[in-house]
Amino acid sequence: MQTVNIHEAKTHLSRLVEQAARGEPFVIAKAGKPLVKVMALSAPAPGQQQRLGFMVGQIAVPEDFDRLGSAEIERLFGGEA
């Protein structure tokens, strides 16, 4: 893995970022001491992003959803059901 100093990284940032985006990460160092590693993100393509509501119309929630199992819960916690 390539190591570059801060000054070189500032001077050649565009080239280094393109290199990292192609899968060739690099390390930025200060006075020879490694500080950070720059690498490509593995983010999904814009058309592949998952969104809320992607299953609209495919799942049915019963009307009494918030009361399901209430008798059992009351029994377990000492209530009278």
What pLDDT is recorded for position 20?
Answer: 92
Domain annotation covers residue 28: yes
Identify the CATH number of the domain in which residue 12 sits.
Answer: 3.40.1620.10
Domain annotation covers residue 81: no
Query: Do 34 and 55 lie in a common domain?
Result: no
Query: Do 32 and 56 lie in a common domain?
Result: no
Query: Do 12 and 33 lie in a common domain?
Result: yes
Domain annotation covers residue 67: yes
Give the range of the structural domain holding residue 20, as residue numbers without chain letter: 2-38
What pLDDT is recorded for position 44?
Answer: 65
- The total of structural domains in the chain comes to 2
3-class secondary structure for the chain? Answer: CEEEEHHHHHHCHHHHHHHHHCCCCEEEEECCEEEEEECCCCCCCHHHCCCCCCCCCCCCCCCCHHHCCHHHHHHHCCCCC
For 32-51, write each residue's pLDDT tens digit. Answer: 999 999 999 876 666 666 77
Average pLDDT over residues 3-32: 94
The Cα–Cα gap between 55 and 34 comes to 46
User: Smallest Cα–Cα separation from 28: which of 12, 45, 42?
Assistant: 12
What pLDDT is recorded for position 17?
Answer: 95
Higher pLDDT, 62 or 45: 62
